[in-house]
Structure 1
Amino acid sequence: MARARNLKPGFFRDAKVVSCSFQARILFQGLWCMADYMGRLKYNPMEVKMEIFPADDVDVPACMEELNSTGLITMYHDCSGAALVQVTNFTKHQNPHVNERQDRNKNPIPCLPGPDEVARSDDEEGEEKPTVEQQVRDALVVLREYSESDPADSLNLIPDSLFPLPDSGFPRTDPPPPAGSAGKQRKLTYPDEFEQAWKEYPKRPGNNKRDACKAWEARVKAGADPDDILAGVQRYAAFCRITGKTGTEFVKQGATFFGPSEHYLDDWTPPPPDGKAPPSNHTGFSDHEYTEHLPDWAKEA
């Protein structure tokens, strides 16, 4: 089987289909894959069985007769006596790939003659045309070459079959537009207050702006003042600049800084430039006289 075909939901409820046996229904679907782009194939019971039921005990001729009697297929012979099959309404329900219908030079690929062509072939006169026998031989060569092509090609779904046809019961949708076309995702926009805070936030590798904005918006929604957040960013930027952390992985991720821990409220007082600790307010205790207000008995003690 060299072709992928469409299987529409209506198939399972079709009156003619449900009147056939289970094996005949499977056979009917298998014939689609064996047929050319016009829904025609050469009929050899053994070949059909090996293609569709290679490991099952199925009476193919009996199933073919079921399909023929219900009008799902038409069985006929050409002038040479070769048995052919036409799948009814094949071109209505199937959308064969363009590579089946024409070659690389856009020339039509031969197909098997239909029942009507065979019936009127003996009556046509005038312009010389290929005989039915020649049409069959040409079409069979094409079928053989197509079936023996790269297996990967024969197993790929036809692109058109991924999009249901209008009469399938489902709306037809167009394929997604290619990358770089008008369907490209719209550029994200951010609040002006966040843009200002992000502009002054210390740089670091891997800082995700979108995640940072989500955290910033969550804080603002919870009642935080954007001006307070901006002031915290400015303090933190000065701290990172003085400590030499700007541009390194030691800078907090924006999503963390604006997160629930509210690091923008921290003091972020940078250490003095000489590296010494700032002078303490708790000095000069030894210069005070702490006993002058004590009672005499306490002083004597």
Structure 2
Amino acid sequence: MARSRNIKPGFFSNEHLAELDFATRLLFIGMWTEADREGRLEDRPRRLKMALFPADNVDIEKMLADLDHLGFITRYTVGSFHAIQIVNWAKHQNPHLKEAKSTIPEMTVLEPCPVKVGASTMQAPDENSSFPADSLSSDSGFLIPDSLPPSPAPVVVEDLFPKFWKLYPRKVGKDKAEKAWAKLKVNPELFELMAKALGKQVLTPEWIKDKGQFIPHPSTWLNGKRWEDEIPDTPTNVHLLPVNRHTNFESRDYKAGTKENANGTFRI
């Protein structure tokens, strides 16, 4: 039996619901009218299709799966009975005091109730209220603030791959390198270690010889975590000058084999 329910303005601006298509959001509202006073209903997609979308070609099973995935409903089974629990039902709906108790078995494990023990936003059958459950007036007291808190400001993470690509001396296989980079989830600290290792490795004989043809591909370097390799200390001057063979000038006898002239000069 369909029932009157509340719908709050926050429903239309909920960014999590906005991820769903229009028909799925409409299904979510329609399920409230099909749910009992505890927010439970039978998990019967075909029946829901006939009750809520009799003239529309929609995939109810997929729509229910999307709502379940995002945490707006929970699909569960007790024995052979398939049921649906609408999440945070008591925080958003105030069933009429004359509604019958639920005959659908509850879930084996329920999420802890966020309200204080003994406090409930649902009217007990013997309570009287000046505000009927199907009232949509903004001052009726039933338009409870949204339970979904505002999303935190997004954390901007710098993409460090362009800096790595600029530093790496052998620029081949960029697509593979980007995939390997994504798996590593590189943060600034790890990037600093990589940069320091590259600064040493580019000076090693293995990377310098034969115009760098033995430098590993970037993806190979990343997948192998080659920044962790032990790198021997390299001289500051890579291009060493040859040893000078002209030595011991001070000990040579430049007079040997010559004759001294009267004026003090020498001749051979």
TM-score, normalised on structure 1? 0.38
TM-score, normalised on structure 2? 0.43
Of Structure 1 and Structure 2, the greater helix share is in 1
Say which one has the larger Rg.
1
